[in-house]
Amino acid sequence: MSTQSPLSQAREGNTVDEMLEQVADEIIRGDIAPGTKLDARVMAERFAVSRTPVREMFAHLAAMGLVVRRPNRGVTVAEISDENLMAMYEAMAELEAACARLCALRMTLKERQSLQRLHQSALHHVRDGTTDDYEAYNLEFHSRLYAGAHSPCLRDMALTTRSRLQPFRHAQFRLPQRPSHSWEEHDAIVGAILAGDAEAAARATRAHVLQVSHGSRDYLESNRGNDRPRGAHTHHDGDGGCDA
């Protein structure tokens, strides 16, 4: 492992989304330990940006439950609780199962055909091992389920929950064979939706999201206990804040 701190490695030309993905990954991996105070000035220097996008990134990290923002105490990395993480995945599984059930009942023929084409087109990402492309497909696939339910309230709840879980769902694709298993799980969902079998679609989707939760947990556990470098110009605060 490199001895250079992840908080001192600078990159240029970063957007808020790029910064968010990188810092969220570092928190999840444990490279930035719970209780670490994040300094906006240090982050701005690291990413070669002003403090405004850094503050925006901090707001997104707080919404994800990865950091805690306290008045006059700044931003502190939160402790990631297995219990809370699994509880969020349980809620996500039920929300997405409900979406898939409604997709089987409400999707138009055009929407079903589009979902099938999207799903089949992703098979070459699995075969080629292009994980980034597969992950982009994965996001689109789940977005189609939310839209195909034709329930704006359910869609909004699913999107809100997904935004909190996104860095953890992203981490799962670092595990070997996860894209191929994910595609097979999607295949069961698509088959049930195309057949108009609402209950089978719900069961397949619930099982899929729970498999995602296991992958995220396995990734977290595989990175715990490693040497965790502390960032330059950051401080460790024993009061680590709320759970993720």
User: Phi, psi (5° rounding) for residue 69?
Assistant: -110, 120
pLDDT bucket at 244, cuts 50 / 70 / 90: very low
**Which pTM does this prediction carry?**
0.74
Domains assigned to the chain: 1-80 (1.10.10.10), 82-222 (1.20.120.530)
Query: Residues 180-205: pLDDT tens digits?
Result: 999 999 999 999 999 999 999 999 99
What pLDDT is recorded for position 224? 61
3-state secondary structure 135-181: HHHHHHHHHHHHHHCCCHHHHHHHHHHHHHHHHHHHHHCCCCCHHHH
Name the 3-class secondary structure at 70.
strand
Other beta carbons within 10 angstroms of residue 73's beta carbon come to 12
Per-residue pLDDT band for 214 (boundaries 50, 70, 90) equals confident
Q: Answer whether residue 226 shows pLDDT above 70.
A: no
Residues 231/5, Cβ–Cβ less than 8 Å: yes
**What strands lie across the sheet with 67-70, from one edge to the other?**
67-70, 74-77, 36-38, 235-236
How many angstroms separate the CA atoms of 187 and 115, rounded?
Answer: 11
User: Which of 3-12, 74-83, 225-234 is most confident?
Assistant: 74-83
The model's pLDDT over 93-145, given as tens digits with 9 standing for 90+, comes to: 999 999 999 999 999 999 999 999 999 999 999 999 888 899 999 999 999 99
Q: What is the mean pLDDT of the chain?
A: 84
Across residues 201-214, what is the average pLDDT? 95
At residue 14, the pLDDT reads 62
Residue 74 and residue 210: Cα distance in Å, rounded?
35
State the amino acid at position 120 in one-letter form.
Q
Secondary structure class of 38 (helix, strand, coil)? strand
Are residues 125 and 134 in contact, defined by beta-carbon separation less than 8 angstroms? Answer: yes
Say whether pLDDT at 68 is over 50: yes
**Lowest mean pLDDT, pick from 81-85, 103-107, 141-145, 209-213:** 81-85
173 pLDDT above the threshold of 70: yes
For the cut 50, the answer to whether the pLDDT of residue 75 exceeds it is yes
Q: Which of 46-60, 89-103, 220-234 has the lowest mean pLDDT?
A: 220-234
Residue 227, pLDDT > 80, answer: no
8 A C-beta contact, residue 145 and residue 98? no
